[in-house]
Amino acid sequence: MEYKYTSKNITETVRLAENIESEKWENMVICLNGELGSGKTVFTKGFAQAMAIKETITSPTFNIIKEYPEGELPLYHMDVYRLEENDDTIDFDEYFNKGGVTIIEWAEIIQDKLPKERLEITFNIIDENTRVLVFKAYGEKYDELCQAVL
């Protein structure tokens, strides 16, 4: 199922992330796609803040994965932008089944490694402040999540 949400500013994007976080569960996977500056990291920061993570969230572009174990659940923040498509050095399944929440920026790059059940959010830039977020739910739990928060 596909859903759309229009965010008129950063505050609305953060509020949406907080609402999704309020419905979180262990092994939740959220895949974020969109061009540079479209709001993927803003969304992740809002989600992390709602999880009571105190550490500053930055995009892990050069690290690929940053782990934040001190929140309500562990958060695994991935940025696979610089990862080669055929790179098998990271065991993604281990993270997807580690009992935390995994948020992946540029997830389309590792499409073949993503779990069958997940939430994909594509950020589309409309103007300087406005974004249209397109949600695609893979699996009943993710569909119910979209219905609950959108």
User: Where along the chain do its domains lie?
Assistant: 26-126+135-149
**Token pair listed for 6:** 């229009």
Q: In this structure, is the dihedral angle defined by the CA atoms of residues 149, 42, 48 and 83, taken in order, positive or negative?
A: positive
Nearest to 131 by CA among 44, 14, 6: 6
Nearest to 35 by CA among 117, 109, 145, 124: 124
CATH 3.40.50.300 fits 26-126+135-149, yes or no: yes
CB atoms within 10 A of CB 61: 13
The pLDDT score that the predictor gives to residue 63 is 86
Please tell me which residue, 106 or 84, carries the higher pLDDT value: 106
For the chain, strand residue ranges (E) read: 2-7, 28-34, 65-68, 75-79, 101-105, 118-125, 131-138
Q: What is the pLDDT of residues 18-70, one digit of tens each?
A: 999 999 999 999 999 999 999 999 999 999 999 999 999 988 877 899 999 99
The pLDDT score that the predictor gives to residue 38 is 98
Q: 59 and 79 in contact (C-beta within 8 Å)?
A: yes
Residue 127 β-bridge partners: none
The pLDDT score that the predictor gives to residue 86 is 60
pTM here is 0.96
**Token pair listed for 128:** 């300087």
Q: What is the pLDDT of residues 87-109, one digit of tens each?
A: 678 899 999 999 999 999 999 99
Relative to beta strand 101-105, strand 28-34 is parallel
The pLDDT score that the predictor gives to residue 1 is 86
Residue 69 CA to its chain's centroid (Å) = 16
